[in-house]
Structure 1
């Protein structure tokens, strides 16, 4: 395989903001096909990112019939992730699907089953794992520097940053609001750092408290309360089989000055760590408490912060294409992403019923 031939399904915000610009930095990949229900968006994507002879489609099934395409990136609303991913896998393509894995856990399980049966690679777009601070912290966890991590907090809090475009506010298309949109990233980081994918009990609550505010202050302008059908906040306590606990907090709009997104705080028997103010480690040494802050910048010279290849989305694209081309292990496995989806669904269920959800692993 000289170059991995990639097809993009869904040429909207996430494709233009992450997938296509990052793939363009990968020498071993070329974008040869673009599909969107709005053909004009596919044409624009081809003009900006495609090869000279790249094909354009309105119907993704027609794209999948092209046997020369090796990889499909699924960049569509959540409710179509499973349908398109399964069709692509069945057509012999490797798939990188945007997060979350699917709208429902049942759909995510079907995706995993088909990936196993077809032998094709399936990964999910949790690009925050590729950040420099995430990779450093993961190595520290793997090396046992924190000891047993028995308590974690997954942070996904915005003060006022409700996405008002696309279908973000449409529960039917997305399956939920900030929990399934940004809470999913924070939860993925927490589970990955802890290397713990066996939940036992989930107790959660979603809120619709600020969604009906008229002319609300918001990063992208006021939202339409009539179209705001998803939660504006969601919070949960997750206990794991080994006794560990995770608190997950997610919101697009919260009266809070403590704003953190795609960050974790970890508490272990040897030390703790958090991403609150850069990457910090804390603990006790020689009967004294300490706080160590890791310098993540590569600069040190006036007016220069250092050359870096630490763009998380670019690194995700390079690592993914390398895994396909060289048949190496994935950083984000579908098994891991499935657990994230199962926990998210349990939080929504717990909120609806007012009861804790028990897992039978």
Structure 2
């Protein structure tokens, strides 16, 4: 793909003073939006109303209302709206989702989630747009946490009902530590911890406890699962070919696949959980999701 696209590039690309001018003055099929978070929804709307397909970096939007609006606009305009949640195309996460949805683990009862990074400096005042709530919409939880909330929801297939969360800012203007408890409509629970103050560069762990088995999924240790009375299994196939977001996006536009692997509804679900968590951190009580 890259080999086909690079020769089409120009050493003197066209320049525009606004997104509106760009979509009006160019013959394009699609755009990739990778701007500060609070700009995503309005820019998606401009692109969709110009008849363009959109691949947006996470999060899809900083509010559930905005996420729903752009999702419905894409459906109305018959345009592809995808999110750059790359884990949807990674083999170990696809296999993890299959193990859950095939019933291998039985009924899920508890999920534990951890995302820990050494990235506090990104959120210190003046460090970058990520440190400014007007541009970022929040801190670590809406940023890297967006990926992991998405995986919790996508792999499990569960519907969140309410969220209780506490956050700490540690001298910044945004959240840099989040501890949350989530209840799902089937009665299952999840604990979610996110920190940007880790001594480790990155640790990502999700554990799914079902009535018949347990599954662990991590950045460092890969995928493993164990059913009652069975041995610990490191399944083959977890290293199969990955499908990158841009590759999948183009295939969806061409009609080569039924739809993008990370559709807009995933962004809506993440926005609903994120918004409920932020409301809970302010109110001090569990907040409904939706």
Q: Normalising to structure 1: TM-score of the pair?
A: 0.72
Match 1:80 to one of 39, 42, 64: 39
Report the equivalent of 2:252. Answer: 323
Instruction: Report deviation, 1:258.
Output: 11
- Bigger relative CO (Cα 8 Å, ≥ 6 apart): 2
Instruction: Report deviation, 1:69.
Output: 0.6
Instruction: Report deviation, 1:74.
Output: 0.6
The structure having more radius of gyration, on CA atoms, is: 1
Distance 1:66 1:106 in 2: 30
Match 2:233 to one of 272, 281, 292: 292
Over 3 Å counting, the alpha-carbon distance change for 1:145 and 1:106 in structure 2 is same
Q: CA deviation digits over 1:34-54, x for unaligned, max 9?
A: xxxxxxxxxxxxxx9934674
Contact 1:127/1:316 (8 A) holds in 2 = yes
Report the equivalent of 1:218. Answer: none
Distance 1:64 1:264 in 2: 41
Structural RMSD (CA):
2.6
Over 3 Å counting, the alpha-carbon distance change for 1:259 and 1:316 in structure 2 is closer
Q: 2:146 aligned with 1:202, yes or no?
A: no
Report the equivalent of 2:141. Answer: 179
Distance 2:14 2:148 in 1: 36
Distance 1:316 1:60 in 2: 22
Instruction: Report deviation, 1:79.
Output: 0.9
Report the equivalent of 2:58. Answer: 99
Contact 2:95/2:238 (8 A) holds in 1 = no
Match 2:217 to one of 267, 275, 280: 275
How many residues were matched structurally? 284
Matches within 5 A, 1:220-239: 228-239=172-183
Structure 1: give runs of 5+ residues left out of the alignment. 1-22, 32-47, 213-227, 299-307
Q: 2:169 aligned with 1:169, yes or no?
A: no
Q: 2:42 aligned with 1:70, yes or no?
A: no
- More deviation, 100-109/134-143: 134-143
Contact 2:104/2:227 (8 A) holds in 1 = no
Q: 2:280 aligned with 1:336, yes or no?
A: no
Contact 1:176/1:230 (8 A) holds in 2 = yes
Distance 2:50 2:86 in 1: 26
Over 3 Å counting, the alpha-carbon distance change for 1:173 and 1:309 in structure 2 is same
Distance 1:201 1:116 in 2: 28
Match 1:133 to one of 73, 83, 92: 92
Q: CA deviation digits over 1:216-259, x for unaligned, max 9?
A: xxxxxxxxxxxx3111101111111111212221111147x796
Q: Normalising to structure 2: TM-score of the pair?
A: 0.88
